[in-house]
């Protein structure tokens, strides 16, 4: 087993903290990179969100997918519980 040397000396701790504070420096991102990200990341307006939610076919597919996924997870969990339970009984 490996043990770590933990120091309790305040002077040594201060020296370590000063060293670590000097190694991490703030770096600003290039403006071109930031502009590109702002153009690519776009939040839809409220009206677009409302139109998407009013599309009942898409909403039905989403709800169906969520319920189907939940049923698959439940079925797999029950199967594993059944198989593990059988091993522990015998």
**Domains of the chain: which residue ranges?**
56-90
pLDDT of res. 65: 96
Q: Is 2 helix (H, G, I), strand (E, B) or coil?
A: coil
Query: In terms of pTM, does the model score above 0.95?
Result: no
| Helices 56-89, 46-54: inter-axial angle, 10-degree rounding | 70
Secondary structure letter of residue 26 according to DSSP: -
pLDDT averaged over 10-residue windows placed end to end, the chain, 90 residues? 66 86 82 88 84 82 95 95 73
Compute CA 17 distance to the chain's CA centroid, rounded to the nearest angstrom. 30
pLDDT of res. 56: 82
d(CA 49, CA 60): 16
């Amino acid at each position: 087993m490996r043990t770590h040397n933990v120091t309790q000396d305040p002077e040594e701790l201060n020296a370590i903290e000063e060293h670590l504070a000097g190694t991490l420096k703030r770096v600003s991102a290039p403006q071109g990179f930031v502009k590109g990200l702002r153009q690519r990341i776009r939040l839809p307006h409220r009206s677009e969100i409302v139109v998407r939610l009013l599309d009942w076919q898409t909403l039905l597919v989403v709800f169906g997918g969520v319920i189907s996924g939940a049923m698959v997870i439940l079925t797999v969990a029950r199967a594993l519980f059944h198989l593990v339970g059988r091993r522990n009984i015998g």
